[in-house]
Chains A and B, each alone.
Chain A
Amino acid sequence: MAESMRTRALKVSFGKNEAVRGVDMDIEPRSVTAIIGPSGCGKTTFLRALNRMHDHTPAARVSGSVFLGEEDIYANGINPVELRTRVGMVFQRPNPFPTMSIRGNITFAPKRHGLARGRELDELVERVLRQAALWDEVKDRLDHSATSLSGGQQQRLCIARALAVRPGVLLMDEPASALDPTATQKIEELIYELKKEYTIVIVTHNMQQAARVSDYTAFFYIGDLVEFGETDAVFTNPREEQTEAYITGRFG
């Protein structure tokens, strides 16, 4: 299930502003790749290029290529709707559908894609909620509104929802930045579990978080990929001066 991704000369610009300036990066399957860097360095923009979310921003222009497995996702004939079932995304702020129940949030996408029906759906709901470590907290109130959950629970519901379409890659855009420390810890434990089955790319502002959860770390600065390598190496022995300055807190 878990798939690898590669970007080659990936550029994203908004009008005259080039937010990502030619990035080559290889993302290993069944691992966590953290993307760090100061605000405005293009981390989120890069992440959103991996599932073609920029298609919905009229001003955005993407060039270069992004491979999912061996397939270029920006090639002609690739359906972005189908692509996004293979590359899931979790956003910075928990965004469950407020008008749907907990169950409804999860079954929304599988129903649209015809992945499961009837009893299968119930099994699917339980499976992904267990994967998201949320099952025990919500199993008795699956029909309650998703907004009845706490912020941390909502975010885990959003992760469960993303898993429900069986993606190979899960993109996370600062998934814990709107949460308190306890909820953050739960999300981090969850990421650690999920990487056994999924390829995870996480954008984070929190360097400790990157050090804790990730296997590989990419440091972005003003649209460039400055340094990319195993997390231990990047944090203990960075090759680039800018990386060292950033992780030691001298800027950013």
Chain B
Amino acid sequence: MTGATPEAARTTSRGSVGEPEVTSKVLSPGSPPSRRFDLARHLGERWFRYATGAMALIVVGLVLLVLQQLWVGSRLAWSEWGLSFITRTAWNPVTGEFGALPFIVGTLLTSMMALAIALPVSLGIAILLTEYAPRLLRDPLIFVVELLAAVPSVVYGLWGIFVLAPLMQQRLMPAIAATPLGRLPVFGEPGTGYTLFTASLILAIMIIPIIASLSREALISVPRDQKEAALALGATRWEATRFAVLASARAGIFSAAVLGLGRALGETMATTMTIGNRVNLTFDYFESGYSMTAIITNELREAASEIHIHSLVAIGLILFILSFVLNTIGRLILMRTRMRGA
């Protein structure tokens, strides 16, 4: 009977309509069963409601507490430079000059490039897994993709230092520079192997599992009849996937991309190990740079002056707000596409 599942599903859904006994049972007269007030159950219900409410409050409280602590810990930076701290480019612990812009730019550039690389790869994996791969290939593939997510980020960092950075320097960057892509202003003269691009690539590998598995879920959740509708109209498999499945799953894919971007923004160890750690306001992916996470990791323990510490915490606060804003934008767009789709 396994193969006849569509028929089987249909009968169960119709069963309730076609059976007259069901309705007659509901309508049959008789004294309602007497219900006795059960104090224990009543209190249990109440207690449960309060307990779950308290749990939710704890989470909200924690977010506010973190925000408040970041604010208190960074107030010297804000009172010294105000909002211009965000756009200042100087970073000199000796003279006490601090500004966040090089780190913000470094974080945004690497995360966005990581997303640009990871999204098509992840979508390809997700489509292969849901539409094309036979079961024998699918399960091992899912396992491998999920294994990628289980690798500690410090291991990715090590791999970046010993494998990717030299490879970038000797092969990849010169190769890209030689293609028409190399004429884009974001790709300059290749030099060191520790660059924004190296970090982007590591980040891309790190966010592929999350984007691929969330996209896969989005693709699976598209009703089968959407794809069949397209196939029955003479669409090829790829057309059915693209116009019926991908189109219907776009909100889910978008949220997968936003969550991937969120991970890339906050990733610390692998970025710190590969980005080059040079305070350098640049839009050239082939130069060394710095990220918000990397500067905090590298300098917080050795920061001697109070203004230095406060400046680092201020960067933490900006990162917090940045992730918050990005996630909010992502979720808002997600909600709007969902409403239009419904």
A interface residue numbers (CB < 8 A to B): 13-15, 17, 19, 39-40, 42-45, 51, 53, 56-60, 81-85, 88-89, 91-93, 95-100, 108-109, 112-113, 145, 147, 158, 161-162, 164-165, 174, 177, 205
Contacts and interface: CB of A to CB of B under 8 A. Distances in A.
B229 interface: yes
B1 interface: yes
B340 A145 contact: yes
Contact of A113 (B8, B225, B234, B244): B234
Contact of A99 (B6, B8, B232, B247): B247
A98 B243 CA distance: 10
B244 A97 contact: yes
13 contacts: A17-B4, A39-B10, A40-B1, A44-B6, A45-B3, A53-B228, A85-B234, A88-B232, A97-B229, A108-B230, A108-B243, A109-B233, A145-B340
Contacts of A89: 228, 232
Contact of B233 (A45, A60, A88): A88
B191 interface: no
Nearest to B246: A99
Contact of A53 (B10, B231, B248, B342): B231
Interface in B301-342: 340-342
Interface string B222-245: 010110111111111101000110
Which interface class (under 10, 10 to 19, 20 to 34, 35 or more) fits B? 20 to 34
A85 B11 contact: no
Given A165-B234, A205-B14, 9 more contacts: A14-B2, A17-B1, A43-B7, A44-B7, A53-B232, A58-B134, A95-B229, A108-B243, A177-B10
A90 B10 CA distance: 16
Contacts of B244: 97
- Give the most central of A59, A100, A108: most B CB within 10 Å: A108
Contacts of B135: 58
Contacts of A165: 233-234
- Give the most central of B8, B225, B229: most A CB within 10 Å: B229
Contacts of B341: 98-99, 147
Given A15-B3, A39-B11, A59-B3, A95 B225 contact: yes
A152 to B, nearest CB: 17
A53 B2 CA distance: 17
Interface in B1-52: 1-4, 6-8, 10-11, 14
A97 B3 contact: no
Interface in B187-235: 223, 225-226, 228-235
Nearest to A97: B244
B263 interface: no
A98 B225 contact: no
B94 to A, nearest CB: 58
Question: Which 10 residue pairs spanning A and B have beta carbons closest together?
Answer: A14-B3, A109-B233, A89-B232, A85-B234, A39-B11, A99-B247, A95-B225, A84-B234, A95-B229, A40-B7
B234 A109 contact: yes
Contacts of A58: 134-135
B117 to A, nearest CB: 26
A147 to B, nearest CB: 7
A98 B235 CA distance: 17
B75 to A, nearest CB: 49
A45 B8 CA distance: 12
Nearest to B6: A44
